[in-house]
Amino acid sequence: MALGMFVNPLPGLKAAHLLQFDFPADYYAPGTLPNINIEAPGVEQMYGKLGTPVKEQGHPLLREQTPAEEEDPNVRPYQDQVVDIDRNVIIYHTARLSGSFARFLANSNYQSVVRLDAHPITAGGGLVRLTGVTGIVSSLQPQAPARNVWYWQNPSTRSELLYTAAIEFNPRRVGLQAENVYKLIARWEFYDRSITPAERMPISGFDETVAFEIIAQTADL
């Protein structure tokens, strides 16, 4: 997981405003599920407490949609990394912009782009763009809490701006191949749209922790 940080760039002066970007493990939009937290406690304690306030970090949650199979994990939230080609798959990934600078970016001049790709790591096929060529494009103008929009965790403090990227897809229809293992690559980019051409901002993040396998068809045990 890579993190971007944007601070007051003037040398020798105390930073007046701080912005941090991370993937907190316990925030998520209504109707979604949180990032999956798979770090060992020792690793999390040393490296994983990020943002303001500090939070343990998580990774994209991937699972088959209903109907669930008997052999699937049944503890919520769970990661289902072996999915059938004939069942829909849903992915949730929550990110946060936090710190005193967050309020200054929370307007329609700025946009985020979330790209979710599946890269084959066994045989056959090329990169599959699960969110298409453009990705999920969203204004940083805060809205009511929901999937695929930015919103304040606490509107009174305006210090944590959250976003849960959520997509649902049919593996066969997007071009994934059965009996193949894929690496899920989540990329987060930010742009200043108040100028032309739009300028990419020095804030970004990615996650490539999650892998999943597509199997041939549904089987009831």
Cα distance between residue 38 and residue 83, in whole Å: 19
Query: Is residue 137 a contact partner of residue 128, using CB atoms and an 8 Å limit?
Result: no
pLDDT tens string 69-120: 655 555 566 789 999 999 999 999 999 999 999 999 999 999 999 999 999 9
CA nearest 126: which of 179, 175, 184? 175
Domain boundaries, the chain: 5-215
Radius of gyration of the chain, Cα coordinates, nearest whole angstrom: 18
Question: What's the first-to-final CA gap in the chain, in angstroms?
Answer: 36
pLDDT at 78: 78
CATH architecture of 5-215: Sandwich (2.60)
pLDDT at 47: 60
d(CA 54, CA 213): 33
Encoding tokens for residue 157?
């403090």
The predicted model gives 202-221 an average pLDDT of: 86
Per-residue pLDDT, averaged over 187-198, amounts to: 95
- Beta-strand (E) ranges in the chain? 5-7, 18-22, 61-64, 82-84, 89-98, 110-120, 128-129, 136-139, 150-152, 160-169, 180-192, 199-207, 211-215
- Give the separation between CA 80 and CA 61, rounded to whole angstroms: 8
**DSSP summary character for residue 216:** S
H-type helices in 24-152, by residue range?
41-47, 102-105
User: 108: how many CB neighbours lie within 10 A of its CB?
Assistant: 10
> Which of 59-68, 123-132, 173-182 is predicted most confidently?
173-182
Task: Give the C-alpha separation, 198 to 109, whole Å.
Answer: 10
Using pLDDT thresholds of 50, 70 and 90, give the confidence band for residue 1: very low
